[in-house]
Amino acid sequence: MRARSKTRLTLWSLNASLLVTTALVAAVSWYAFDDVHDTIDTVDTRTSRALLEASAAKSALVEADLLAITSFRTGEALLSGPGDRYGNRIATASQSLAQVAEDNVAGEDGSKQIQVVEGLLASYTDWIGQANAHHRQNSGLATIDLWYASRLLHTQDSGVLAQLENLVKVQQDAMDVQLAGSSTSPGRIALLTVPVGVLLALLVGAQVFHAKRFRRVLNVPLVLATLVLAGVCAVVGYGLVAQHRVEVAADDLRALVGTWQERTSATAAEGQQALSDLVTGECRGADGGCGETVTRFITELRAADPGTRPSDLELTGGVQRVNSQIAVANGTADLELLIPAGALLIAVLVWLGFLPRLEEYRHRRR
């Protein structure tokens, strides 16, 4: 009678341990998988867009500046002002900023940075408008206005481009935080593997117990439960692979932002050279030349390396590649529901595996 009671207690203990551990495996696995794909979804729908649109805004602004300077230098501004192409690039930059504001993942820091950029951009367009008005009056003040407008755009640390670079940085920092939150760190791997290891050990232990105590080689429901556990682990493994893929995509996204910066820098150098030529021509007829500030600007400009300008095709290809990588990483998101479904099936199979022996050893009063 005592042996019978001990066997019954062991059966109930094993059964309860298996069910509790199954619930724990389901919870940590579902959380980890869902966390990874939440990160991927955020990077896909917001972070990557914010970074690319901020880079596009920078590129559009330096192109607009180059177009404005060229129109004044060639005399086209007398006929049509800075030109439609200038207006289109400014509109593109404004639209990109609006998109960054919508997709901003850097919280209040990002919002404040956007407000600063928008304020400086408004001042820049005011200076260009004033330069156009003076140019139509054949006033030498037009070049001065154009100089101040361009300096507002290019001034190191405080200009529009510098503020946009800060905006890119805070978005990248936010992306790093997002990726770190779902990363496959040792602690996170341990959180996943320990419950799975315990559940596997319990399933094997239960199988051994049934074989020894009841002389049964295999308990079929427990074998099936073990196979389902392997399936759940495979789904979680897809989540870990997805995390790796989005991290690779993020690296390529950072590289793409750098490539876009190369294009911006090359265009900016061309625009600043055009400004230098325009200002130098105006200063030839002025007493005392251009002054120390302009002279230093020209000297530094000559010493600067304009770098190479990546093509539109290269940038477009980079954007498509990053978007494709993120889409592939997010391709396993629909497998999420297999985790709780698999855990539920394991629990049912465990119960079915123990039920005949629990019924056999049910305590009955005589």
Report the predicted TM-score, pTM, of the whole model to 2 decimal places: 0.82
Answer yes or no: is 365 within a domain.
Answer: no
Answer yes or no: is 108 within a domain.
Answer: yes
Answer yes or no: is 37 within a domain.
Answer: yes
| DSSP state letter for 159 | S
Answer yes or no: is 113 within a domain.
Answer: yes
| 69 confidence band (pLDDT: 50, 70, 90) | confident
Answer yes or no: is 151 within a domain.
Answer: yes
Least confident of 67-76, 284-293, 354-363: 284-293
Q: Indicate whether 75 pLDDT > 60.
A: yes
Closest by Cα among 353, 29, 358, 3 to 204 = 353
Answer yes or no: is 63 within a domain.
Answer: yes
- How does 192-209 read in b/e, with b if 16+ C-beta sit within 10 Å? beebbebbbebbeebbeb
What pLDDT, on the 0 to 100 scale, is given for residue 73?
Answer: 78
Answer yes or no: is 273 within a domain.
Answer: yes
| DSSP state letter for 81 | T
| 116 confidence band (pLDDT: 50, 70, 90) | very high
What pLDDT, on the 0 to 100 scale, is given for residue 139?
Answer: 66
Mean pLDDT of the chain: 85
Q: How many structural domains are present in the chain?
A: 1
What pLDDT, on the 0 to 100 scale, is given for residue 306?
Answer: 58
| 13 confidence band (pLDDT: 50, 70, 90) | confident
3-state secondary structure of 304: coil
What pLDDT, on the 0 to 100 scale, is given for residue 58?
Answer: 94
Answer yes or no: is 219 within a domain.
Answer: yes
Q: Give the range of the structural domain holding residue 309, as residue numbers without chain letter.
A: 2-282+289-360
